[in-house]
Structure 1
């Protein structure tokens, strides 16, 4: 698992509550993890799409609804396609180096 930490941005994903159905919001990064603590879970091996995005404190995952264009927390289930995410660009090496520097390796 690889932690999501914006290197060059001031806004982070945030959840108002750590429960099923909670919407994902954008909020100023506070650096204390908690409600902003997300991590990638690989489905087909490390550094390969697709991935799941886990909200670590609640042990739930991001799920998207195409019809409503909403993203929310749901129980993690690798068989649910609405929880599979594809990234155009992921800087895997930079992310791993950053994790190591912060002692976040999982």
Structure 2
């Protein structure tokens, strides 16, 4: 797992409750992980798309519904395509360096 931590942003993904179906919201970063603690889970090897996005405390994953345009927590299941995410651009090396500096390595 590689933890998601905004490098230059003040807003973070947040969940109001750590249960199935809980919506993903944007909220001011508080830096204490918990309900804002997300990590990438690679499906085809490190640094390669697609990835799953895991909410660490609840051991659930982000799932998207194209029809409703909503993102919510669901039990992690690599066979569910709605849980596969593709990043246009990601700074893998910068993210790994940041993890190391914050002692967040998995």
TM-score (norm 1): 1.00
Structure 1 residue aligned with 2:21: 21
The total of aligned residue pairs comes to: 106
CA RMSD of superposed structures (Å):
0.2
SS of equivalent residue, structure 2 residue 74: strand
Offset, 1:26: 0.1
Distance 2:103 2:9 in 1: 20
What are the Cα deviations for residues 62-81 of structure 1, in whole angstroms up to 9, with x where unaligned? Answer: 00000000000000000000
Offset, 1:83: 0.1
SS of equivalent residue, structure 2 residue 41: strand
* Misfit runs of 4+, over 2 Å: none
TM-score (norm 2): 1.00
Distance 1:103 1:4 in 2: 13
Offset, 1:55: 0.1
Distance 1:17 1:5 in 2: 20
Structure 2 residue runs without a partner (length 5+):
none
Offset, 1:32: 0.3
Offset, 1:38: 0.1
Distance 2:32 2:99 in 1: 15
Structure 1 residue runs without a partner (length 5+):
none
What are the Cα deviations for residues 41-65 of structure 1, in whole angstroms up to 9, with x where unaligned? Answer: 0000000000000000000000000
